[in-house]
Amino acid sequence: MSEATAAVLNATQGLTQVNSLATSTALTVWAATASFVVLIGLMFFFIFFARYVGRGPFVALLLSLYAGYSVYIVFPYSQFLPTAPALTAVGSHAGLYLFLVFTFYIILRRIAVSDFLYIGLFGLLVLSFLASAFLIALAYHVFAVTDVYVFNNAISVLFAPDQYFFWWFLSPAIGLFFLAR
């Protein structure tokens, strides 16, 4: 075998190893990112909402998540909502909850939240994360979204345990207490 052929063979093997390493690294990064795409997507929604509409309406939205849930829990006609198939059941329950959240958002926006409150950029990021985590925890524990969508293990470890639900549920309120002035 000539030196030129050996050099081409070594270069080809080297490129194959680099390609394999780059592909495996890219797939690992993509898998880690894909695990949190739902959380990141919700965070971007809340950040966009707060930046576009304002901090006062953002706080009204956070508070309406709580108010909507409180009425959803005591809603006396939930037995009339569909229970099968799973996608229809999750959609009807989530739709009812979103309707209640929207209703309370309108009420709170009109009467309770001032436009003179201050939430900095760091506070906005933290509160958006906490609101996103709140909604994912509700999806796990209230709407049984796992019958329709299987979350990655990284998300399941954070949101599936019952003992964590209370803390994810309480976290936006704690965040508002410390970050809104």
Same domain flag for 102 and 14: no
Same domain flag for 105 and 26: no
Same domain flag for 18 and 42: no
pLDDT 10s digits, 102-150: 999 998 887 776 667 788 899 999 999 999 999 999 988 888 888 888 8
Same domain flag for 78 and 143: yes
Domain count, the chain: 2
The span from the CA of 104 to the CA of 123, in Å, is: 23
List the domain range (segments joined by +) for residue 2. 1-35
| 8 Å CB contact between 64 and 57 | no
Same domain flag for 163 and 92: yes
Same domain flag for 18 and 46: no
Same domain flag for 50 and 2: no
Average pLDDT over residues 6-21: 56
Q: How many CB atoms lie within 10 A of CB 4?
A: 8
Q: Is the pLDDT of residue 7 over 60?
A: no
Q: Is the pLDDT of residue 3 over 70?
A: no
Same domain flag for 17 and 101: no
User: For residue 66, with 0-12 CB atoms within 10 Å meaning exposed, 13-18 middle and 19 or more buried, which class applies?
Assistant: middle
Same domain flag for 70 and 31: no
Query: How does 73-112 read in b/e, with b if 16+ C-beta sit within 10 Å?
Result: eeeeeeeeeeeeeeeebbbbbbebbeebbeebbeebbeee
pLDDT 10s digits, 47-71: 999 999 888 889 999 999 999 999 9
Same domain flag for 40 and 30: no
Same domain flag for 10 and 91: no
